Every structure is written in C-alpha cells, then in structure tokens.
Chain A
Amino acid sequence: MTTEQLHDVRLHVNGSVHEVRVPARRLLSDALRHDCGLTGTHVGCEHGVCGACTVLVDGTPMRSCLMLTVSAVDAEITTVEGLTEDDGSAQGRLSPVQQAFSDCHGLQCGFCTPGFLTTITAGLRETPDPTEDEAREMIAGNLCRCTGYQNIVKSVLRASEITAERERGEA
C-alpha cells in the first residue's frame, strides 16, 4: 500500500498562523479540531445540514465540514474561539452574540452553539437591527436539538441591542 501524500498547508485562524501537514482529504473542520487543537468548532452531521461546524471564512459563514483544508490556504478563518473580544484581560470579553446567548439562555447542551455564534456574528454585520423574522431567517440553516429556537431568536435580538449599547459606550 502506498503512503498517502501529505500537503503542507498554512492556515490563518483567529489571527494566528498554523502550519499543518495533512492529506488532501482532511476536512477543514477536522484540521481545526485535530491539527490546530481548536475544538470549539463542533462536528455534527458532516454533510452540511446541521451547521454546527460553521466558521467564518474571510468574514463570511461557511461550513467547515464542506471545505477541504488544502482549499483554505488563502483564507482568514475565524472560529468560535476567535469571537471573544480583547479587553486587556487574560480571557477577554464575551462578544455581543456570546453575551446574549448567556443572558437569554440561548444554549443548553451547547453542541450546536459554536455554529450559531459564528453565523449570527456575520448575520448581524449584514443586518445589524433584525426583525424577529429576519432573526429566524438568519439561523434557518442551523439545527438545535435541545434548547429550541425561541431563546436563540431572543439571543439574536439581544445581541443586536448589546452591539448597539457597546457602540454607544454604555456597556
């Protein structure tokens, strides 16, 4: 049996460079978890349906299970670990979307949460002040099996408020 060819790939993740050596078939989701050690990106269905593995690729939400690591060379990737804001403290400050999920009980088991957080972070950049319908449309491609969607929709709306409050310097 011949050894599988490995590719040297330089990934840009959350502002850091990760040099990984992977076979061409390594999904980006697996490279993030196993090669970069960033296990915040969760892997659910592995065929693009559940949305748990959603990351930001150059700021745009994409399914990391539907991308090959070797195709991600030129991209700046943001995972859930990269959402936290730098406020000078060691652990940083929760982003508005993360804070809203905490405030509104937007998560229960937390498995689907990283995909929701990345998707909503990008969604609010495009639609900063969504209606409830727009909030539902924003998360329509992500599945949650325990919290249910009511509190996640509330979290989207709350995240919009927190973002505005922080911009006004209130929080």
Chain B
Amino acid sequence: MKPAPFAFLRPSTLEEALAALAGEQGAKVLAGGQSLVPLLSMRLAAPSMLIDINALPDLGHVRVAEDGVRVGALARHAEVLASAEAAQAQPLLGMALSHVAHPTIRNRGTTVGSIVHADAAAEMPMVLRLLEGSVDVVSVRGRRTIPAAELFAGPLESTLAHDEIAVEAFFPGLAPGAGVAFQEIARRHGDYALVGVAAHVETDGEAVTRARVGFVSVSDVPVVVDVTAAVQDPGGDPAATALAELDPAEDIHATAAYRTHLVKVLAPRVLAAATDHARSRAGEAIRP
C-alpha cells in the first residue's frame, strides 16, 4: 500500500505553516500521523499537500494549572499519560489514555490530533466532550477557542475550518466532590473499543447533583448524555436514557444488539464507579 503523491512541507514556524495551509485548499496537517498515515496508505484520503508540524516550536507541552490541563498539539499520548500532575488534576485523562491503542502507537500519536480527527471510536474526543473542555485553533485570521460541544460535526469531521491548526486542547480539572470512571470492552486491550463508556458525576454530600455519560464506538460521533434525572430517580434507568440518544451500529466487530447490551451493562457500572470516586474524593477533602 502506497499513499497517492502529495507535496510536503515541514515548516519551522507556525506563521509559515498557517500561510501554507491557507494557500492550499487540499492541504492536511500532519502531527503524529497514527490515524492519517493509514488513511493515506489505504487511499481513503488523498490530500494535495501535507504540512508536517513536528518541527514547530512550543507545541509539546502538558501544562497543569489551577483550572485544568493544557495539552499542546505535539504532546504524544504517552507524554500526557506519563504526567502524574495531569492525572492528579484530571484523573479521567490517565484512565482513558491507557486504553488509547497500544503503547507503540501512543509514542507517536498526539492527543490533540486524535481529538480533531474526531473519530467516534477514539477515546479522547469523547473525553474532551464529557469534561466540557475545548480546543484552541489558529489560522492566518487569528486564534479562537472551540468548546467541545461545538467541535464534532459528523463522522471523522470536526468544525475546524480548512485553514485552521489545532494548537492546544484544554481539559478542565476535576472539581472537589466530582468523580470520573472509564471502562471499555475490546477484543484485546488496546484495540478499538467495541464499546467504551466514561462517566462524570458531581455530588453534594450523599446526593448526586449531576451525572453525565460519554460513549465511544456506539454512535458515529462522540456522544455525551445527561442522565442526572435517571440517577436521582430511585426507579430510574440511566442506560435507557442514554440509549434513547444513541444509535448503536453493527459492523464486523459487533452487532447492534451486542453494543446495546454493552451500554446497558457498562453505563450503570461506570456511573457507580464515578459516584464512588466522587465520594472518596469528597471524603479526602474534608479529612484534616
């Protein structure tokens, strides 16, 4: 398998990269390439030009501040996963990243690249949505912040304009009294999930004040469903609430019925785990 021919640029400044991208309608940005290069090799994508951003300065950061974690466009999954500070500020990052492909892929693939690739079978687009994070993009026209809720337009389609480069993703930190959990079922650990589910639960004392669940590989876009009412109702069924907004599809890996079954099993499980996580963190916070 060989990619179709394309022009290639490896600029050393962001300005140069943005100018080139703006000037070539068919250009694509190459960061880690762990999703893009297979698409090129299988000729599912044939950009006229690739702009390799790996030589750009100052994009490899994993920066932890009071409000959350900022990940630069060249930070590899492995680097984000290795950051103990990032895991402390937002535990869902580590929980989900350990499921992103195999370590060898994580050594090259970037978290920001995975997010703007917008694959519904990938963990990090859903995680960004569940955490209500955002992505900063730049173009020759300037810089803007796209909230995760407005980032995913369709299957493998983000709302970035063709001349924009995603330079940073922001994952809000986990508030006191909030908890998260992640589980997925795959044929082998590291393979694409048949179904992956994450939960974000906010508590006030014993009461759950907000509960949301995100799904990987169930619909054709990353989906997050608010299940607060179902969780607060003693007879409520959060999985049923979620399924009303999901569209489990059949492919060679699993039938739609099996995916539906996995949603029913995993959603209550991760909700319970996230609730426990929230309460254990609240307990830690009040301990002297």
What total of chain B residues lie within 8 Å of the partner, measured CB to CB? 32
**Distance between Cα atoms of A30 and B107 in the complex (Å):** 20
Which among A4, A27, A66, A141 has the highest number of chain B CB atoms within 10 Å?
Answer: A66
B22 touches A (CB below 8 Å): no
> Which A residue sits closest to B33, measured CB to CB?
A66
Q: Are A4 and B5 in contact (CB under 8 A)?
A: yes
**Distance between Cα atoms of A61 and B103 in the complex (Å):** 8
B21 touches A (CB below 8 Å): no
B41 touches A (CB below 8 Å): yes
**Distance between Cα atoms of A35 and B214 in the complex (Å):** 46
A132 touches B (CB below 8 Å): no
**Distance between Cα atoms of A158 and B112 in the complex (Å):** 38
B2 touches A (CB below 8 Å): yes
A47 touches B (CB below 8 Å): yes
B4 touches A (CB below 8 Å): yes
**Distance between Cα atoms of A66 and B3 in the complex (Å):** 11
**Distance between Cα atoms of A138 and B104 in the complex (Å):** 9
Q: Are A141 and B102 in contact (CB under 8 A)?
A: yes
Contacts A66-B37, A68-B8, A141-B103 aside, 19 further interface pairs with beta carbons under 8 A come to A25-B2, A25-B3, A25-B40, A27-B2, A27-B3, A27-B37, A46-B1, A47-B1, A51-B104, A62-B104, A66-B105, A68-B37, A68-B50, A70-B8, A71-B52, A71-B54, A141-B102, A141-B104, A141-B190
For the complex of A and B, the 4 pairs showing the least CB-CB separation, nearest first, are A141-B102, A24-B8, A47-B38, A25-B3
